[in-house]
Amino acid sequence: MSTAQLKELADKLSAKESKWLSFYLSAKARASDPAWKTEMARRLKRMRAGHGITETEYRRRHPETSKRASAAAK
């Protein structure tokens, strides 16, 4: 499939589909980035060493995620 065909298909996506595609492509790019992999490994090691936060603390710091989860469940 050519770039022009991909652009044509992308132009026909709904806002929701377009957003999903954007997130998918970003995640795909990050997954193959050695610097991102190194940083994620560092963060995971730190969390496993006891420097993580509880779910309650996460929700306190990021209340918008609770709102999105509630809206998605409806």
pLDDT of residue 5: 95
Cβ 21 vs Cβ 10: under 8 Å: yes
Query: Residue 7: which pLDDT band, with cuts at 50, 70 and 90?
Result: very high
Q: Is the dihedral of CA 46, 48, 53, 59 positive or negative?
A: positive
pLDDT of residue 67: 72
Cβ 66 vs Cβ 59: under 8 Å: yes
pLDDT of residue 69: 63
Q: Flag whether the pTM goes above 0.75.
A: no
The conformational region for residue 50 under phi > 0 = left, psi -120 to 50 = alpha, else beta, is left
Would you kindly state where each structural domain of the chain is located, as residue ranges? 1-32, 34-74
For 22-58, the pLDDT digits (tens) are: 999 999 999 999 999 999 999 999 999 999 888 899 9
- Structural tokens at position 48: 């496993």
Q: What is the CA 13 to chain-centroid distance, rounded?
A: 19
